[in-house]
Structure 1
Amino acid sequence: MKDDKNFDVIIVGGSYAGLSAAMALGRSLRQVLIIDSGLPCNRQTPHSHNFITHDGEKPSVIAKKAKEQVLNYPTVRFHKGLAVSGKKTSNGFEINTENGELFSAKKLIFATGVEDIMPGIQGFSACWGISVIHCPYCHGYEFSGKKTAIMANGERALHLASLVNNLSTDLTILTSGEANFSVEQAAKLKKHGVTVIDEPVSKIQHKNGWVEKVIFKGNKAIAFDAVYAAIPFRQHSSIPVELGCDLTEQGHIVVDNFQKTTIKGVFACGDNTSMMRSVANAVAAGNLAGAMVNKELVEENF
């Protein structure tokens, strides 16, 4: 590495999307710095699924192997730290870390993911990613045929119910308040045998993250094996917005088909840009982002 402060590309976020982008760039001999705080959002999840060749593997094992392979490329460097601010400069961009370190690069890639906002329900966060889950494609097969709850309301609950109904016929929607379904939606749920309970949930009884019962505010308890939950999120890093990157109405970073944000020279990939939250999708998006950043560098210098 010629310079330990100045790079062709800084990648903020060193999980699946960031590492995938780094590999594409490392193989093109780009000087790359990955900055990562070491807190991936799926760190509690015991197994990753729906990613061919890695189905059923522990997420941390996939990430460890990916990091080892990426760092085999001599122009890629990994820096453990938290990026806290960034700015545009005449030559590109600067990124500051929590420890006061300053790095610069011609291009930026944000693979920073999102932060899930946990509800105030006792036991919820301890089960998140284990048996309180977000995605039928990532987790559904393992809970097929099991007694399943969906913590959501309205259109989101109906969407999840339609997907999960293919996996389990014992399905209950927990709206934690007045149910918000149209007459047509309610009829559809009834037709498919989906029960709706509107009592607020106060607690999830579990053992080491595995759901046993859902406890309601009136102390009624119902046993479940799995709970799907649609919860809000926020961007894990505020730097893209501070740089001027637009967000969608749902809160994702706006990118085009080549992972470019609305700010020239800034790219984003992974969960921070897409509702398709999976390891496979993050790897694919990161690979594309790395290739497109390299393409821009080529066009600017050739």
Structure 2
Amino acid sequence: MDLSNQKLYDTIIVGGSYAGFSAAMTLGRSLRNVLIIDSGNPCNKQTPHSHNFLTRDGVPPGEIAKIAREEVAKYPTIEFYDGFAVNGSKISEGFVIKTSDGNSFKGKKLIFATGILDSLHDIKGFAESWGISVIHCPYCHGYEVRNKKTAILADGDRLVYFTSLIKNLTDDVTLITSEINASNADNIAILKRNGVKIIEKKISEIQHHNGYIEKVIFYDGTAESFEAMYAPVPFRQHSNIPEELGCELTDAGLIKIDESHKTTLDSVYAVGDNSNMLRSVSLAVSSGSVAGVKINGELSAEMFS
């Protein structure tokens, strides 16, 4: 495909939502030509309310994103393309991003605001309750389920720390684990000393009403009522393009960045959940602003040399 006569954007932002729109606004206010490629499929689409974001506390995430897009669209140098980016490559002028419908776009700089995909447990009712009453973060959701009967479906080295955050919000905490073994016995002992109940069973189903948990059904046929469940789950990158271009990932599977959100590949940045374990709207917005400032500075320096 001949791209020689195609428009060269100052920056292509892959992924919209909070981080991408924030970066776009920063660049648009500096008169940079920006293209946002977004498929409109954020990972928090099922979450009813967003929290810990000043002036928008308790507002549905989709409403925040809608307002953000409307505000960004007021800047005439910012364009939108509704599509899914599937491939990226390096060219002499910068980069080419291809979309699933066969279109290609050129940009001097890239920002990936592509988010992550949660690998949900294969438990009946889990996916339908995810982000509603089966939750991952006490800072995002904990206040709303404070003092409620709460389950934790988790394990690992950070189990005690994570549980301590939940125990601060409610005294009625139960850890559900399918197996207690030598590797987690010390953690279990600490939890028991701090009043955490332990259920050593495997879950077969989460009974819920419109995503709000009512009961946990176990494979042995027994059941336990709960009002909320914390379940940190594994994740993977929503887009493979950064890694395919040569961006390094951390051991945790996040895109490796520096303090300005630049990846290990020159002229490529990552913002939002794809590069930050602390998933929140406020931090996503902040990361987009930082990357936008840094990229505008690079573009200015390149033009001024």
Offset at residue 182 of structure 1 (A)? 4.7
1:131-163, CA deviations, whole angstroms, 9 ceiling, x for partnerless residues? 000000000000000000111013233222110
TM-score computed with the length of structure 1 as normaliser: 0.97
Q: Which residue of 2 aligns with 1:186?
A: 188
C-alpha separation in 2, matches of 1:23 and 1:197: 49
Counterpart in 2 of 1:242? 244
Report which stretch shifted further, 153-162 or 97-106: 153-162
Decide whether the 8 Å contact of 2:247 with 2:256 is kept in 1: yes
Which residue in 2 is equivalent to 1:210?
212
Whole-angstrom CA distance in 2 between matches of 1:223 and 1:18: 40
Alignment of 1:93-112 (within 5 A): 93-112=95-114
C-alpha separation in 1, matches of 2:6 and 2:285: 26
Contact 1:131 1:226 in 2 (8 A): yes
Query: Which of these residues, 252, 264, 269, is aligned with residue 262 of structure 1?
Result: 264
Separation in structure 2 between the aligned mates of residue 127 and residue 263 of structure 1, nearest angstrom: 38
The residue type paired with residue 287 of structure 1 is S
Which has the larger displacement, 213-222 or 255-264? 213-222
Post-superposition CA distance 1:179-201 (Å, at most 9, x none)? 56655433321121001212111
* Shift in alpha-carbon separation, 1:172–1:179, aligned structure 2, 3 A: farther
Separation in structure 2 between the aligned mates of residue 33 and residue 16 of structure 1, nearest angstrom: 15
Distance 1:156 1:234 in 2: 19
Instruction: Please list every run of 5 or more consecutive structure 1 residues that lacks an aligned counterpart in the other structure.
Output: none
Q: 2:70 is matched by which residue type in structure 1?
A: E
Give the drift of 1:177: 2.9
The correspondence of residues 114-133 of structure 1 with structure 2, limited to 5 A, is 114-133=116-135
The answer as to whether partners of 1:153 and 1:180 remain within 8 angstroms in 2 is no
Name which of 57, 60, 64 aligns with 1:58: 60
Partner of 2:36: 34
Secondary structure of the residue aligned to 1:154 is coil
Identity of aligned residues (%): 56
Contact 2:174–2:199 (Cα < 8 Å) also in 1 = yes
Give the paired residue count: 300
Change (3 A) 1:95 1:223: same
Q: 1:84 aligns with which of 83, 86, 98?
A: 86
Provide the secondary structure at the position in 2 that maps to 1:187. Answer: helix
TM-score normalized with structure 2 length = 0.96
Q: Greater shift after overlay, 168-177 or 242-251?
A: 168-177
CA separation of 1:293 and 1:221: change in aligned 2, threshold 3 A: same
> Deviation of residue 299 (structure 1)?
1.2
2:26 pairs, out of 18, 24, 27, with 24
1:233 has 2:235 as partner: yes
CA deviation vs aligned residue, 1:194-217 (integer Å, no higher than 9, x gap): 012121111100000000011111
Between stretches 155-164 and 55-64, larger displacement belongs to 155-164
On the 8 A contact 1:165/1:171 being kept in 2, the answer is yes
Contact in 1 for aligned 2:159/2:187 (Cα 8 Å) = no
2: CA distance between counterparts of 1:217 and 1:33?
50
Give the aligned residue type for 1:96.
K
